[in-house]
């Protein structure tokens, strides 16, 4: 695929050849528990990169109407995560009834996880949090259907800075305000498994995450949101490395790759896997190949060189042990 002439590719600021894959430390196939695949042409581009970077099985939050087409093409490699029709979101019975019907339809198609996206804009727009009464029938139905959960709880701490998009805490709450509803939800659905996306939303504080994991045995984290995780790991590599080793059985590999326009190049998809695997496996220290306005300039990437048993657990062992594959 062509790049725009003259413009630096935001996925490849170092001019790497992403087809030239580094020699990885593990040969076992990886499971990516967090993607968003849409139409088949973009999914094909995504899978080209996934295959090249050793990712065999992929969990996707695809719209219900895309499931049949994706499954026809990639049946064995795909697992679906049930999502509602977010763009129609309203706090009313019509939206919720459709959500419940979609949960049932995804379940019939084999989904074992459902996603609750509870980022601060939900609080701003609808006053909605995980422990809001509106959610209770959805949670109850999902439990009855046998679902485990994926939850988006937090966003980058820098977004709460005075220049950040959540600076107005009267609308969005503080970052700490995002967590009591999550903790009540974890208690509500225990022992059902809950995956808190993007390292639980608080990679900036491995200390906070360790407490969260200690308080909730049904909680696991995913490594998705590559730019965010890369820049914060680079700021505190030793702290995150110690956290990953201490909680090796509680972290799942994920990318948060979104396969649709405007992502038309192999390099975009490959860059996320290159960074994730380099960060966890290698002893690389240097610049990140991905542009990131929230990072130091230039953006940094720190390889943690995790032990082999930790890599195996995070890459595929944990999701298999949780019986969600």
Site residues for Zn ion per CB under 5 A: 256
Q: Cβ closer to Zn ion: 9 or 256?
A: 256
Q: Cβ closer to Zn ion: 201 or 237?
A: 201
Q: At what angle do helices 179-189 and 206-215 cross, to 10 degrees?
A: 30
Strands 251-252 and 257-259: unpaired
Q: Cβ closer to Zn ion: 155 or 267?
A: 155
Q: Cβ closer to Zn ion: 157 or 255?
A: 255
Cβ-proximal residue to Zn ion, closest one: 256
- Determine whether 76 is exposed, middle or buried from the number of CB atoms within 10 Å of its CB (0-12, 13-18, 19+): exposed
Distance CA 217, CA 301 (A): 31
293 Cβ partners below 8 Å, 6+ apart? none
Closest CB 34 distance from Zn ion, rounded Å: 6
Closest CB 255 distance from Zn ion, rounded Å: 9
Q: Cβ closer to Zn ion: 102 or 256?
A: 256
Closest CB 97 distance from Zn ion, rounded Å: 25
Torsion of CA 106, 325, 225, 300, to 10 degrees: -170
Q: Cβ closer to Zn ion: 16 or 89?
A: 89
Give residue 320's region: left, alpha or beta (phi > 0; psi -120 to 50): alpha
Residue 222's DSSP bridge partners are 252
Closest CB 310 distance from Zn ion, rounded Å: 23
Closest CB 55 distance from Zn ion, rounded Å: 16
Q: Which of 74, 69, 73, 45 is nearest to 58 (CA)?
A: 74
CB atoms < 10 A from the CB of 289, how many?
A: 23
Closest CB 8 distance from Zn ion, rounded Å: 25
Residue 149's DSSP bridge partners are 114, 194
What is the DSSP secondary-structure string of 267-310?
Answer: HHHHHHHHHHHHHHH---EEE-SS--TTS-SS-EEE-----HHH
Closest CB 81 distance from Zn ion, rounded Å: 9
Closest CB 133 distance from Zn ion, rounded Å: 26
- What phi, psi does 295 have (nearest 5°)? -95, 170
Q: Cβ closer to Zn ion: 32 or 102?
A: 32
Q: Cβ closer to Zn ion: 204 or 256?
A: 256
Q: Which token pair is 209? A: 């995450």
């Amino acid at each position: 695929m062509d790049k725009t002439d003259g413009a630096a590719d935001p996925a490849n600021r170092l001019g790497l050849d992403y087809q030239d894959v580094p020699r990885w430390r593990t040969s076992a196939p990886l499971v990516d528990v967090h993607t968003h695949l849409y139409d088949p042409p973009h999914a094909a581009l995504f899978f080209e990169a996934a295959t090249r970077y050793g990712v065999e099985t992929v969990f996707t939050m695809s719209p219900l109407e895309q499931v049949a087409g994706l499954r026809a093409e990639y049946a064995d490699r795909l697992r679906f995560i049930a999502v509602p029709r977010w763009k129609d979101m309203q706090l009313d019975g019509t939206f919720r009834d459709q959500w419940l019907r979609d949960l049932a339809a995804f379940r019939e198609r084999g989904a074992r996880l459902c996603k609750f996206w509870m980022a601060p804009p939900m609080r701003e727009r609808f006053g909605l949090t995980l422990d809001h009464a509106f959610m209770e029938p959805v949670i109850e139905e999902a439990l009855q259907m046998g679902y485990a959960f994926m939850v988006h709880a937090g966003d980058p701490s820098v977004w709460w800075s005075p220049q950040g998009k959540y600076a107005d805490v009267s609308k969005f709450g503080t970052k700490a305000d995002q967590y009591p509803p999550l903790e009540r939800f974890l208690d509500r659905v225990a022992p059902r498994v809950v995956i808190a996306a993007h390292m639980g939303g608080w990679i900036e504080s491995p200390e906070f995450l360790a407490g969260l994991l200690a308080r909730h045995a049904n909680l696991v984290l995913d490594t998705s949101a590559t730019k965010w995780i890369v820049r914060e790991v680079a700021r505190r590599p030793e702290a995150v490395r110690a956290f990953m080793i201490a909680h090796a059985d509680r972290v799942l590999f994920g990318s948060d790759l979104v396969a649709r326009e405007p992502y038309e190049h192999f390099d975009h998809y490959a860059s996320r896997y290159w960074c994730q695997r380099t960060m966890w496996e290698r002893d690389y220290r240097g610049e990140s190949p991905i542009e990131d306005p929230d990072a130091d300039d230039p953006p940094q990437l720190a390889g943690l060189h995790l032990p082999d048993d930790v890599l195996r657990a995070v890459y595929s062992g944990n999701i298999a042990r949780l019986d969600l594959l």
